[in-house]
Structure 1
Amino acid sequence: MTEHSTVDVLISGAGATGLTMAIELARRGISFRLIEKLDDPFRGSRGKGIQPRTQEVFEDLGILDRIVALGGFYPRQREYNDDGSFTESDAMLREEPTPAEPYRLPLMVPQFLTEAAMRERLIELGHRPEFGCELINFEQDETGVTARLKSRSGEETIRVRWLVGADGGRSFVRHALGIGFPGKTLGVRAIVADVVLTGLDRDAWHRFGEGDMQRQIALCPLAGTELFQIQGPIPLEGEIDLSAAGLTALVSERTGRDDIHVHSVSWASAFNMNARLADRYRLGRVFLVGDAAHTHPPTGGQGLNTSVQDAYNLGWKLAAVAAGAPDALLDSYEEERRPIAAAMLGLATKLLDALKRDDIKRGREVHQLDIGYPASSFALEKPERHGGLLAGDRAPDAPLTGAAGQPIRLFDLIKGAHWTLLGYEVEQATTPPRPGLHIHRVGRRGDVIDESGHFRDAYAPASGDWVLVRPDGYVGAIVSSRDAWALEAYLDKVGLGPAAARS
């Protein structure tokens, strides 16, 4: 057994959640290892919906355009009646983009394509996952975690400052910590399979037997591939034939058609739907993210999105504390993210009940644009605001004009690993510059001009207000110029205090 030197973070699990965490750490120069016990990347499309808020996250990570190019939008759903007639409807709420919300439609991108784009981005940043490497034991103390890894080349022991369990619903990390995972099995067992088939066109999401949990089956063309995804409930007990022949027979039985033929299966799974939430997200120097902390039924397309945003929330905080910010910043991860998962579990379960009644409508509530952290201990308002944008809310986008005359989006100013401080109609900066903080003055004599009033409409600032946007695109603080002392105290709390200003 070999012993290796310290890195800051060990990430166990290289799915979408672990990859998000790795990208966040890589672009901040934090040392880490990303390990995955599987020998190869996941080949399935279990999580195929990319919600609008996750699209904003992916834009910040530098991968949105390539992910859009890999996938597409959801087709209309075509519900067939027993006589072969059908009706068509939108599967998703269709809303036009606005200046504040540039992405309003869920994307369909098979999970294996999303993760491939994320690995490509990670390689650009100088890192890659270690496949065939498994975490088999760990112990923690006050200063770090000692972890034992097993790979094809043998066993090794490494020392890290923090361990992140991104290792799925059966999480070894969660089990080893003894953290409870209460919830319920929802009494629904289902199949999901990515297949090559003939007999259906690719311009619709074909749905048969809606509302009948014995006969229901859906066949959806997977954007960016030649595949269809088959989904349907199955009996709670018994073996299911997931071969091409077995799936062809199941489709024929449920559709009443003999012209739909499955020719090959690239990935298939039979699973019981669960709704579970870990009792806690942190124990000492070990954290749970993604499915290790919460499992959802697939209705509503919330699982992958909630998981990516867990890592997006924790990643910058780990980096900040690694650079000297107070440890309390890490406590805010569970404080902010666990209530979100609880709400998403309720939503996904509600949508599953609606699916059983053939009354499912996926509206704005699945887009995750309204998620925020207004109750967070890292949300500050001076003076307190009533209505409009609040500290803890998602920071809206806004088209602006640079002082030199070129158009610029607010998201372009926010994008990256830094904090962003926006002064509205301020005379001068009341906060000195410091590493990790970008300061912009919005107004007639500022470096960016709100010509069309979109910033004013979205943020509802008073003249002289300062809006501090966190690295994850949420509003950390809104303070008036006369309360600049409170802003300095806040910056000190997140590791951007007077010492950073002097450096």
Structure 2
Amino acid sequence: MKSTDVLVIGAGPTGLTLAADLRRRGVDVTVVDKVADGANTSRAAAVAARTLEVLEDLDVSRRMIAEGLVTPHFTMRDGERVLIPVDFSTLPTAYPFTLMLSQADTERILLQRLTELGGTVIRPLGLERLDQDGDGVTATFSDGSAMRARYVVGADGLHSRVREQAGIGFSGGEYPESFALADVRLSAPLDDEGVILFYAKSGLTVVAPLPDKVFRIVAPTADAPECPTVPYVQRLLDERGFGPGKTVVTEVIWGSRFRIQHRVADTYRAGRLLLAGDAAHVHSPAGGQGMNLGIQDAVALADALAAVLGGAPDSVLDDYSAARRPIARQVLALTGQLTRVATLPPLLRPVRNALMGLASHLPVVRHQLAWRLSGLVYR
């Protein structure tokens, strides 16, 4: 039976970051994922300043910046009217911006770094069962094979098999709204606008630039189609953006619909089983916090596992759970508030926008938004 120090289930950004950081520290780590290579699609797109900071030692930040789009500001708007500008450029960091980069590219860069460090991902291979004892964990997989590990980390998302096998509760619920998501090309790209959150009376729409003149459109809507079309996305932008015909969609590259949940695991540890990323917490995509929180979990967990495997007391893993879980709860509170504000009943939206306009005159409001969205508040 093959053995490893750390078995990571899930090769998304969280699992890849954890594995690469452990390899960098000389830890024997194995990564498996049930999804075939290349089957993932672009989802998260915003890489926050704090995430770039924690990835520095892994020699990944510079590679991401070389391929991504540097965005030093967000604007919250009602049509042409700016409600609240969010400026990252004055923040005390080497990365005073949000980096726009598709999740597929982030995963590719992280996998490249893992490979350079001597690691690989075994896929497609699904986890069936975990049996832990005082010395380690035996993992049994869908093909009948088994592996022995000193610790197993679930970085396997919302429907985490590791969390299920560990018997860890996942408290929370689901938002009633569905969301439309589409990556599109526009006839007149908004090159200088940065990320825009349109708070229109008919609903919120996010327009975020990506590399190669692609724009990510996200909108809560009751009638989100499974595969958004050009006319559908055009209607959203006409009704909720700068106005009819101001922003013309020429192509939908990829799209989907999704619903969002808000949950936090009751603990991030059950003996030799640990959780990170979406296996530990899921929340609204408002503010682009999800992938960032997972990557930051991974770096913190790599610290803890490397210390314990090097002889530190086992309680260091409890410290990881105790430190990261409150941060997840803070992020859930922030993203929940942003989502509720964005999805207020139509009659209340003009009042909301008026209050946002008034709040924008307070420097502390603009600074706090930038500080929290950048993740620097969690240093």
For the aligned pair, the TM-score class normalised by the smaller chain equals 0.7 to 0.9
Deviation at 1:6, TM superposition (A): 1.0
2:136 aligns with 144
Aligned-residue RMSD, C-alpha: 2.6
Match of 1:364 in 2: 371
Query: Could you tell me which of 277, 282, 290 is aligned with 2:264?
Result: 277
The Cα shift of 1:165 comes to: 0.3
Other-structure match for 1:387: none
Change (3 A) 1:366 1:253: closer
Give the aligned residue type for 2:108. Answer: A
* Cα pair distance change 1:350/1:161, threshold 3 Å: same
What are the residue-to-residue correspondences of 1:129-140 with 2, within 5 Å?
A: 129-140=121-132
Contact 2:204 2:342 in 1 (8 A): no
Aligned match of 2:37: 40
Counterpart CA distance in 2 for 1:291 and 1:29 is 26
1:96 aligned partner: 90
2:62 equivalent to 1:65 = yes
| Structure 1 residue 15, shift from structure 2 partner | 0.7
1:53 aligns with 2:50: yes
Partner of 1:174: 163
Tell me if the contact between 2:100 and 2:209 (Cα under 8 Å) persists in the aligned partners.
no
Per the alignment, residue 23 of structure 1 pairs with: 20
Alignment of 1:459-474 (within 5 A): none
Q: Distance in 1 between matches of 2:153 and 2:192?
A: 41
Residues 167, 292 of structure 1: 8 Å contact kept: yes
- Residue 452 of structure 1 is matched in structure 2 by none
Q: Provide the rounded CA distance (Å) in 1 between the counterparts of 2:67 and 2:235.
A: 31
- Aligned mates of 2:322, 2:207 — CA distance in 1: 39
Pairing of 1:20-419 with structure 2 (within 5 A): 20-41=17-38, 43-74=40-71, 77=75, 79=77, 81=79, 86-88=80-82, 92-96=86-90, 98=92, 101-150=93-142, 154-205=143-194, 210-212=199-201, 214-222=202-210, 224-235=211-222, 239-244=225-230, 246-248=232-234, 250-252=236-238, 257=244, 260-266=248-254, 268-356=255-343, 357-358=352-353, 359=356, 362-371=369-378, 394=379
Paired AA for residue 230 in structure 1? I
Q: Kindly indicate whether the alpha-carbon contact (under 8 Å) linking 2:189 and 2:213 is maintained by their aligned counterparts in 1.
A: no
| C-alpha spacing 1:52/1:274, structure 2 compared with 1 (3 Å) | same
Cα deviation digits, residues 123-154 of structure 1 (max 9, x gap): 1101122231211222111111111123xxx4
CA–CA separation in structure 2 for the residues paired with 1:327 and 1:32: 18
Does 1 or 2 have the higher relative contact order (CA < 8 Å, sep 6+)? 2
Higher helix share: 2
* Cα distance change of structure 1 residues 238 and 46 upon mapping to structure 2, 3 Å threshold: closer
**SS at structure 2 position matched to 1:216:** strand
**Structure 2: which amino acid aligns with 1:180?**
G
**1:461 paired residue number:** none
CA contact (8 A) 1:7 1:32 kept: yes
Once the two structures are superposed, what CA deviation does each residue of 1:210-233 show, in whole Å capped at 9, x if it has no partner?
A: 243x443333221x2332111111
Judged with a 3 Å threshold, the aligned counterparts in structure 2 of structure 1 residues 344 and 136 are, in CA distance, closer, same or farther, namely same
SS of the counterpart of 2:144?
strand
The answer as to whether partners of 2:29 and 2:119 remain within 8 angstroms in 1 is no
Is 1:7 matched up with 2:37?
no
Q: Which runs of 5+ in 1 are unaligned?
A: 372-393, 395-503
Contact residue 68 and residue 100 of structure 2 kept, 8 A: yes
CA distance in 2, matches of 1:352, 1:21: 29
Kindly state the Cα deviation for residue 10 of structure 1 after the two structures are TM-superposed: 1.0
Distance 1:126 1:198 in 2: 44
- Residue in structure 2 matched with residue 492 of structure 1 by the alignment: none
Query: So what's the TM-score if we normalise by structure 1?
Result: 0.65
Q: Report the residue type matching 2:257 in the other structure.
A: A
Following TM superposition, by how much is the alpha carbon of 1:104 offset from its aligned partner in structure 2, in angstroms? Answer: 3.0
| Cα distance in 1, alignment partners of residues 21 and 259 from structure 2 | 32
Q: Percent identity?
A: 35
Whether the 8 Å contact between 2:76 and 2:198 is mirrored in structure 1 is no
Match for residue 346 of structure 2? none
8 Å Cα contact 1:21/1:315 also seen in 2: yes
2:227–2:257: 8 Å Cα contact kept in structure 1?
A: no
Structure 1 distance, partners of 2:116, 2:310, is 23
Structure 1 counterpart SS, 2:266 = coil
Q: Residue 30 of structure 1 contacts residue 319 of structure 1 at CA under 8 Å; is this kept in 2?
A: yes
Is 174-183 or 196-205 further displaced after alignment? Answer: 196-205
Moved more, 114-123 or 185-194: 185-194
Contact 1:44 1:194 in 2 (8 A): no
Structure 2 CA distance for partners of 1:347 and 1:254, relative to 1, 3 Å: closer
Structure 2 gaps of 5+ residues are 344-351, 361-365
Q: Which amino acid aligns with 2:377?
A: D
Residues 80-114 of structure 1 show CA distances to partners (whole Å, capped at 9, x for unaligned) of 63xxxx2357753334354xx33332222222222
Tell me, in whole angstroms, the C-alpha distance in 1 between the residues paired with 2:197 and 2:372: 26
AA at the equivalent of 2:135: T
TM-score, with length taken from structure 2: 0.85
The CA distance in 2 between the partners of 1:206 and 1:109, in whole Å, is 13
Q: What is the distance in 2 between the residues matched to 1:277 and 1:116?
A: 27
User: Which secondary structure does the structure 2 equivalent of 1:370 belong to?
Assistant: helix
SS of the residue corresponding to residue 297 of structure 1 reads coil
CA shift for structure 1 position 282: 0.6
Deviation at 1:205, TM superposition (A): 4.9
The corresponding residue for 1:477 is none
Deviations 1:381-402 (A, max 9, x none): xxxxxxxxxxxxx5xxxxxxxx
